[in-house]
Chains A and B, each alone.
Chain A
Amino acid sequence: MRGSEMTARDLSAASAAATAGEAPAVPVAERSRPRAVATSDRSIVFDDVSKFYGEVLGVNGISLVLEPGITGLVGPNGSGKTTLMNLMAGLLRPDRGSVRVMGLTADEPERLFRLVGYSTQYDAFPRGMTGFRFVYGYLRVHGLGRAEAERRAWEAIERVNLVDAARRKVAGYSKGMRQRIKLAQAISHRPAVLVLDEPLNGLDPMARAEMLELFRHQAEEGLHVLVSSHILHEVDDVSDRVVLIHGGYVVAEGEIAGVREEVEEQAMQILVRCDGPGRLAARLFAEGRVTEASLHADGQGVSVRTRDADGLYLALNRLVVEEGLAVEAVAPGDADVGAVYQYLIGGSQ
């Protein structure tokens, strides 16, 4: 989806709300409205999708349109990546909204799963199976005859470079080999949509490079490749676009460069609890340090937004002395957003 318009959500509000277990500060009507993006039969469309596990939020109000190419789905553990993928594959049902993959829903498994290959995060395999038997057996369930299933199984196993180990039991495989045999099983029926949940986990650098090359190759063939990771750096090289997800909400989406820029451009919120918040806010505005300020209802603090947090902290030290303010606390109002992004970029910056 190169060249597509970048859309970044209200990152701080969404994240803060997610942390607090509430809906984000963006208007509900706006969040739940399907985005006015032209979709085609080739799109994967999440339309205002919500999923709760009892009282626990899985994802909320997700509206996304994914076009062919590689899409990186990035977020910390527990952010909702797997829930989103499972909703797409029909392993979970949305409590609200709908998911369509190339026009098909999970209620049409006979058609949908010819198009979708899904390598889940579960590191589990049927007991006693060899790598070949694992791929071949499920191909037979697709309805393929013996010879054709065997041919396709070997083809897929060859693609993930696991031919030598194919006759061995999966239980004896290393983590990397298990990841690869899962991938072989997911691509063996030549799907048009490949969904990969944390496929690079446990792989050594060489295997990662091979795997990423395989994703590129699949995408070049016109496939959708949706790949999740909790490290942005891991997938940004191969992704045409990324979707950042946190606390069950999509916090940013688009081309990777645009997402970085947008996130960095987000004004940061800082809370100052002190005895003269009005005077402090006036001085900060006067010095052009903040773009927005709101006094707390109890008159004992102010929340400000700034694009230059370091400069603001330095100015605060000076202004507190000059104004003779008694400061109780200074804290980032949306620290978790910053933390999320820092976490996602994994120190690669």
Chain B
Amino acid sequence: MSTVSEAGAAAGATFHGSLPAPVGSPRLRLAQTLAVVRLELSRMLGRRGLAWVIFLVLPPLALAGGFAFMIRFIEAMPLSHAALVYAGIYHGFLLALVLFFGCVAIFTSLVRREMRDRTLHYYFLTPVRRELLLVGKYLAGVIASFVLLGFATVGTWLLVYAPFLSLDPEGLSRFVRGGAGLGHLGAYVGVTLLGCIGYGAVFLATGIFFKNPVVPALSIYGWEAINFLLPASLKQVSIIYYLGGLLPVAVDEGPFALIVAPPSPWLAVPGLLALSAVLLALSALRARRMELAYGED
């Protein structure tokens, strides 16, 4: 049904005249999605959830800072050990805890918090398809989480390698300029981005499908945490398995770990992106049929 009344058309005419493109056009939809992203980012700045994420990124930075301080007292620590130290901090702390719970805090609140605050209807009453609203919210979440967690990734890396500016300046220069240094950093940042995308989609869906997303989030955490103990077939049903396989330095997961071949980057990256797309599509379908009866929620 595309007919609009005279009054509606009259009202719409003045409105449509102000739009950058016709209703339903890709250009208008892009403008609307970007507006959602901007609005969400500005709102996130005032959210307590984001403060929690900032709080979360401090411990790994402190840990790296502590390492940078302690290394002065360790004689002849080779640069290659720093790569192992960073890999341990990243895998055991940043990836397994900070990135996971940072994404829980940011993405579960995108929809669920608005339902709790009784403000989601403001979005639902705008002339935007709910699928696009969700994509806009998700993109805002990815940007916010990546900025914070990417900062933690880079900051921690810089802190770990900073002492070598005085301990082994030549080695550090070779490592960064000619060696694997920047490649490592790029890989870690890339994994952080993929983590934000993957976990973001998971927790956006969690926030939409569950009234209390904390319980499923903790269940997922438990599953991810025991991933190193699982056989290969079950390892594949997780995000940490694919992210871990993309890390530039392998990490010893302990004596009880079931060692399996890491996934190929050609499988891990598209696989994670595809999983995220599927979860996003499911969330969008749910949002499309969602009813807002806050009292009953």
Contacts and interface: CB of A to CB of B under 8 A. Distances in A.
A115 B122 contact: no
A120 B121 contact: yes
Interface string B33-48: 0011011001101110
Contacts of B4: 41, 102-104, 111, 115
B35 A141 contact: yes
Contact of A137 (B28, B39, B46, B118): B39
Contacts of B166: none
B125 A116 contact: yes
Given A91-B292, A92-B292, A109-B130, A114 B24 contact: no
B35 A110 contact: no
Nearest to B27: A143
B7 A222 contact: yes
A192 interface: yes
Contacts of A122: 118-119, 121, 294
Contact of A115 (B8, B28, B36, B291): B8
Contacts of A102: 4-5, 7-8
Nearest to A152: B18
A148 B23 CA distance: 17
A104 B224 CA distance: 47
A42 B32 contact: no
Interface stretch (A183-191, A247-255, A276-284, A314-322): A183-191
Contacts of A42: 5-8
A98 to B, nearest CB: 11
Contact of B31 (A93, A114, A126, A143): A143
A46 interface: no
Contact of A145 (B5, B6, B18): B18
A143 B129 CA distance: 12
A124 interface: yes
Q: Is the interface of A mostly helix, strand, loop or mixed?
A: loop
B127 A113 contact: yes
B223 interface: no
A118 B7 contact: no
B124 interface: yes
B12 A114 contact: yes
Interface residues of A, number: 55
Given A110-B24, A112-B127, A118-B125, A144 B5 contact: no
A104 B3 CA distance: 8
A100 B121 CA distance: 19
Nearest to B126: A141
A142 B38 CA distance: 13
Contact of B119 (A40, A93, A100, A124): A124
With most chain A CB atoms within 10 A of its CB, the pick from B7, B16, B23, B129 is B7
Nearest to B39: A137
Contacts of B14: 190
B126 to A, nearest CB: 5
A41 B3 contact: yes
B76 interface: no
A199 B37 CA distance: 30
Interface in B117-138: 117-119, 121-130
B291 A110 contact: no
B32 A143 contact: yes
Contacts of B119: 122, 124-126
A89 interface: yes
Contact of B117 (A68, A124, A191): A124
A223 interface: yes
Contacts, number: 160
Nearest to A129: B43
Contacts of A299: none
Interface string A192-207: 1100000000000000
A114 B11 contact: yes
Nearest to A115: B8
B279 to A, nearest CB: 23
A110 B18 contact: no
Contacts of B292: 86, 91-92
Given A41-B4, A192-B11, A89 B125 contact: yes
Contacts of A32: none
B20 interface: yes
Interface in A8-41: 40-41
Contacts of A133: 42
Contacts of A117: 125
Contacts of B45: 128
Contacts of B289: 93
Contacts of A5: none
Contact of A143 (B1, B19, B118, B294): B19
B11 A109 contact: no
With most chain A CB atoms within 10 A of its CB, the pick from B3, B28, B35, B124 is B35
A192 B32 contact: no
Nearest to B18: A148
B75 interface: no
Contacts of A185: 122
21 contacts: A41-B3, A41-B6, A42-B7, A42-B8, A92-B292, A93-B291, A110-B24, A111-B23, A116-B125, A118-B121, A120-B121, A126-B43, A126-B119, A128-B46, A137-B42, A138-B123, A140-B35, A140-B39, A143-B28, A145-B20, A192-B10
Interface of B: 1-8, 10-12, 14-16, 18-21, 23-24, 28, 31-32, 35-36, 38-39, 42-43, 45-47, 114, 117-119, 121-130, 289, 291-294, 296
